[in-house]
Structure 1
Amino acid sequence: MDWLSAMSLLLGSVFANTLASLSGGGAGLLQFPLLLFLGLPFSVALATHKLASVALGLGAVVSHLKNRNIHSKVCLWIITFGSLGVVLGAHLILLIPELYAQRMLGVIILLLGVYSRLKTQLGHHEIATNRNLLGWCFGTVLIILIGIINGSLTAGSGLLVTLLLVRWFGYSYKQAVAMTMISVGLVWNALGGITILNTGVPVHWPWLPLLLLGSFIGGILGASLTHRLPNYIIKVCFEVVTLIVGLKLLI
C-alpha cells in the first residue's frame, strides 16, 4: 500500500470509529465501504473489519471505565444473551441473501432514527422502565435478535442496542452508549471476528495494524467526547448516524 492509501485508511478508520463511539454504533457502514473502495473483496473486507472493530470497543472501555458510567450487570446481560445471537448470525450470513437482509435492516434503523428525532425528550435523563421480570425477558429476545444482526451483517447492531437501552429500559443516551461500546464494541465484535475466522474467511493482515490503531484512537476520542457533551448532543449524533447508516444500507 502506498503512503496516500495508508493515510486514507488510518484517517478514515479514526473518523468512522470516533463517530461510532460517540453515537453507539455505525462504524461498519463507514469503515467497511472504505476497505471495499481500496480494493478488498467483500468477504475479506468483512472479516478484516470485524477484527479491527475489537479495538474500537477496547479504546472506548479505557475511557468509560474511568468515568464509572457503567451498569456492569446490564453489560453482562447484553454480553451473555447477545453472544448467542452473534455466533448464530455469523453462520446464517452464508444462507441469507445479503442485499435483502441489508435493505430490511436499513429500513429498521432509519425508522428508529426518525422515532428518536420525534421523541424530543427521549434519553435526556434516566427514567427506569420495564426493569421487571417480564421486561427483561422481552428485552432478552430482542438482544438475541440484535446479536444475530451483529454476527451476520457489517453494522447497525450497536445502534439497535443503544436505542433498546434508551427506549425500553429508560437509560440516558450517555449510559446506553457506554454500555453498548463495552458489550457490543468489544465483546460481540471479538466473538464475531473469531467466529468468522473459524468459517475460513481470509483476513487481509497487512492492513490490520492501521485499522486497529485507527479503531482504538477513535474509540478513545468518541468515548471522551461522550462524557464531555450533554445528552441532547449525543442524541443528535445518534440520529445523524442512524440516518446515514439507514440510507447507506438501502441505497
Structure 2
Amino acid sequence: MDQLPLLLTGFVASFFSALAGGGAGLVQFPALIALGLPFTLAIVTHKVAVVALGVGSAGKLLRSFKFDWPLIGLMLAVGVPGLIIGNLSALVIPAAPGKVLFGVTNIAMALYSILKPDFGVIAAPRNREGRGLWIGAGLMSVVGFLCGVFPSGPGLFATLVFLRWFGFDYQAAVASTMLMVALVWNSIAGVTVALAAPVRWDWIPALAVGGVLGGYFGSSLALLKGNRFIKRAFESVTLLMGAWLLLQGVETWQ
C-alpha cells in the first residue's frame, strides 16, 4: 500500500505526457517532493523513473505509427550532447530564472495554439532539407540541453519544433516526441544522472510500472482520438505546466 501513491503518480504523469507530447514532470516531479524527497534527489529520481514513459509509449507507437526515421534520427543525435551537459548542469545551477522563463514560454505556446484553430490539425511538411533542416537541428539541440537542465516542461518544446518548424500534425509530433525524448533521451538522461548522484531506488519499481502503463494507454488514446483531441490536450498541459513553473520560479526567487 505504501507503493500505491507512487504507482498512481507514475501512471497519471505518463498518461497525460503521452497524450500531449510532454509534461510528465508537471505531475511526477512535484509529487515526489510532496512525498518527501529533497529537491535534487527528486530531480534525479524523476529522471530515472520517467524512462518508463518512453517504454510504454514506444510499445504502442512502434506497432501503430509510421515515423519519419531519417528526420527523427538526426534530431535525436543532435540533441544528445546538450542533453548530457544539461543533466549534469541541473545538479548545480539555480532553477528560479529558468522556471520563470519556461513558465512564460509555455503559456505563450498554449495561447499560440489556441489562437490558431487549425495549427497542427493538418500536416504541412516543410524544412526537411538544406538550410531549413539544419536550423531545425540547431533548435532541437537547444531543446536537448533544456530537457537535461529542467525536470519538467522542455519535452513540450520538442513537440513544438516538430509542429511549427517541420510542419507535423499533432499526432505525428506527439508520437515523434514520445519516441525521441521519452524513450531515447530520457534513457540517456536517466543513466547520466544515476551515475552522478544518488537515486531513491526503492521508489523506482512502482513509478516505473505506473509509467509504462500510463505511457501505453496515453499513446493508445492519442492514436484513437486524432489531432484535434491531442491539440486540446497539448494546450491544457502546456498552460498548466506554464502556470506551475511560473509560480515555482517566483516562490524560489522569494
TM-score by length of 2: 0.94
Partner of 1:189: 186
Match of 1:143 among 140, 144, 149: 140
Q: How far apart, CA to CA, are the structure 1 residues paired with 2:90 and 2:54?
A: 23
Structure 2 letter corresponding to 1:198: L
Structure 1 residue runs without a partner (length 5+): none
Check conservation: 2:40, 2:91, Cα contact below 8 A.
no
Check conservation: 2:100, 2:246, Cα contact below 8 A.
yes
Deviation at 1:93, TM superposition (A): 2.3
Deviation at 1:95, TM superposition (A): 4.7
Alignment of 1:230-241 (within 5 A): 230-241=226-237
Structure 1 letter corresponding to 2:29: F
Match of 1:92 among 86, 89, 94: 89
Match of 1:229 among 217, 225, 228: 225
Deviation at 1:78, TM superposition (A): 2.0
- Residues 114-139 of structure 1: per-residue CA shift (max 9 Å, x gap): 11111110111111122231111111
Partner of 2:165: 168
SS in 1 for 2:50: helix
Q: How far apart, CA to CA, are the structure 1 residues paired with 2:230 and 2:17?
A: 11
Match of 2:124 among 124, 127, 137: 127
Q: Does 1:202 align with 2:224?
A: no
Q: How far apart, CA to CA, are the structure 1 residues paired with 2:240 and 2:71?
A: 28
Deviation at 1:104, TM superposition (A): 1.1
Range 189-198 or range 236-245, more displaced: 189-198
Match of 2:98 among 97, 101, 111: 101
Structure 2 letter corresponding to 1:249: L
Deviation at 1:6, TM superposition (A): 2.2
TM-score by length of 1: 0.95
Deviation at 1:94, TM superposition (A): 4.0
Q: How far apart, CA to CA, are the structure 1 residues paired with 2:90 and 2:46?
A: 16
Structure 2 residue runs without a partner (length 5+): 248-254
Match of 1:32 among 21, 29, 34: 29
Check conservation: 1:23, 1:241, Cα contact below 8 A.
yes
Q: How far apart, CA to CA, are the structure 2 residues paired with 1:69 and 1:117?
A: 27
Range 112-121 or range 67-76, more displaced: 67-76
Q: Does 1:211 align with 2:231?
A: no
Check conservation: 1:58, 1:216, Cα contact below 8 A.
yes
Q: How far apart, CA to CA, are the structure 2 residues paired with 1:124 and 1:163?
A: 13
- Residues 75-108 of structure 1: per-residue CA shift (max 9 Å, x gap): 2112101111101111222453211111111111
Match of 2:8 among 8, 11, 34: 11
Q: How far apart, CA to CA, are the structure 2 residues paired with 1:94 and 1:225?
A: 35
Partner of 1:242: 238
Structure 2 letter corresponding to 1:220: Y
Check conservation: 2:9, 2:207, Cα contact below 8 A.
no
Structure 2 letter corresponding to 1:126: A
Structure 1 letter corresponding to 2:88: H
Partner of 2:252: none
Q: How far apart, CA to CA, are the structure 1 residues paired with 2:170 and 2:65?
A: 15
Structure 2 letter corresponding to 1:167: R
Structure 1 runs (4+) deviating above 4 angstroms are: none
Partner of 1:45: 42
Structure 2 letter corresponding to 1:160: F
